[in-house]
C-alpha cells in the first residue's frame, strides 16, 4: 500500500505541476488582451476563450494533486478533535459512500461528453459556437474524464492511507509541498528562536 501511495502521489504531483503552467499561459493571454485592447484599440477574438479554457483545465487537473497533499477544504470543526484512527474510519466510509460514486459518474459522463464533442465536424472536433475565433474545445472537454481518472487512482491511495492509519494510529506523511510565504517566515522565525535558545543554554553551561 505504501508503494502504491508513493507511486500515485508522484503521478498526480507530476500532473499538477505540469498543468500549473496553465496559469502562465492564462496570465500572458490576459495581459496581451489588455495591451491590444486599451493601447492599440484592437482587441483579440480569442483571449476570453483562452482564459476560461486554461482556468478550467487547471482547476480540473489540480484536483488529484490537491487531494494527495490533503489540501481540499474540510469542515473540520469536530474532525480535528478526533483521534487519527477515528478520522481514518470516518474518511474510509465517506470515500465509498460519496467520493467513488461521484468520481465514477464524472468519468462516465465526462467520457461520453468528450466523445460526442470529438464526433462533430466529421470527426475533427467541436468548436465554441460563442467564440468569434471558433476556438476548438474538444480537447478541453477531454480533460474532464482524464481528471476524473487521476482523482480515482488518488482516491484509492487515500483509502490506503485510511487503512494504514486505522492499523497504526498515525496518518502516513504527505509529500512535501510549497508553503505560503507567511508559513515559511513563521517556520524560519521558530528555527531562529530555537537556535538562539540552544546557544543561550550552551553559553550558560560553559560558564
Mean pLDDT of the chain: 86
Q: Please provide residue 199's backbone torsions phi and psi, each rounded to the nearest 5 degrees.
A: -65, -40
Q: How far is CA 113 from CA 139, 140, 173, in A?
A: 11, 11, 37
Give pLDDT tens digits for 55-65. Answer: 999 999 999 99
Q: What is the pLDDT of residue 152?
A: 96
**Cell reading at 66:** 490537491
**Cell reading at 127:** 468548436
**Separation between Cα atoms, residue 151 and residue 64, nearest integer Å:** 5
Q: What is the pLDDT of residue 204?
A: 56
pLDDT at residue 191 tops 80: no
How many other C-beta atoms can be found within 10 angstroms of the C-beta atom of residue 93?
11
**Separation between Cα atoms, residue 187 and residue 206, nearest integer Å:** 29
Higher pLDDT, 114 or 205: 114
13: enclosing H helix or E strand: helix 2-19
Longest dimension (CA), the chain: 87
Give pLDDT tens digits for 135-190. Answer: 888 999 999 999 999 999 999 999 999 999 999 988 887 776 665 555 666 666 76
Q: How far is CA 126 from CA 57, 122, 137, in A?
A: 17, 10, 6
Q: How far is CA 195 from CA 125, 150, 201, 202, 205, in A?
A: 61, 43, 10, 10, 15
Q: What is the pLDDT of residue 69?
A: 87
Amino acid at each position: 500500500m505504501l508503494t502504491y501511495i508513493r507511486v500515485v502521489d508522484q503521478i498526480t504531483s507530476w500532473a499538477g505541476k505540469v498543468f500549473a503552467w496553465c496559469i502562465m499561459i492564462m496570465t500572458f493571454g490576459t495581459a496581451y488582451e489588455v495591451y491590444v485592447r486599451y493601447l492599440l484599440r484592437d482587441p483579440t477574438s480569442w483571449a476570453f476563450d483562452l482564459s476560461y479554457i486554461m482556468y478550467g483545465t487547471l482547476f480540473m487537473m489540480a484536483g488529484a494533486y490537491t487531494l494527495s497533499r490533503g489540501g481540499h477544504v474540510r469542515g473540520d470543526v469536530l474532525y480535528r478533535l478526533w483521534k487519527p484512527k477515528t478520522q481514518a474510519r470516518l474518511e474510509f466510509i465517506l470515500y465509498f459512500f460519496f467520493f467513488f460514486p461521484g468520481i465514477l459518474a464524472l468519468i462516465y459522463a465526462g467520457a461520453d461528453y468528450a466523445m460526442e464533442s470529438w464526433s462533430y465536424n466529421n470527426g475533427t472536433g467541436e468548436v465554441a459556437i460563442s467564440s468569434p475565433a471558433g476556438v476548438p474545445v474538444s480537447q478541453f472537454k477531454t480533460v474532464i474524464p482524464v481528471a476524473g481518472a487521476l482523482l480515482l487512482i488518488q482516491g484509492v491511495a487515500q483509502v490506503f492511507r485510511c487503512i494504514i492509519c486505522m492499523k497504526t494510529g498515525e496518518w502516513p506523511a504527505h509529500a512535501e509541498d510549497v508553503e505560503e510565504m507567511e508559513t515559511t517566515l513563521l517556520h524560519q522565525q521558530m528555527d531562529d528562536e530555537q537556535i538562539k535558545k540552544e546557544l543561550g543554554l550552551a553559553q550558560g553551561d560553559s560558564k
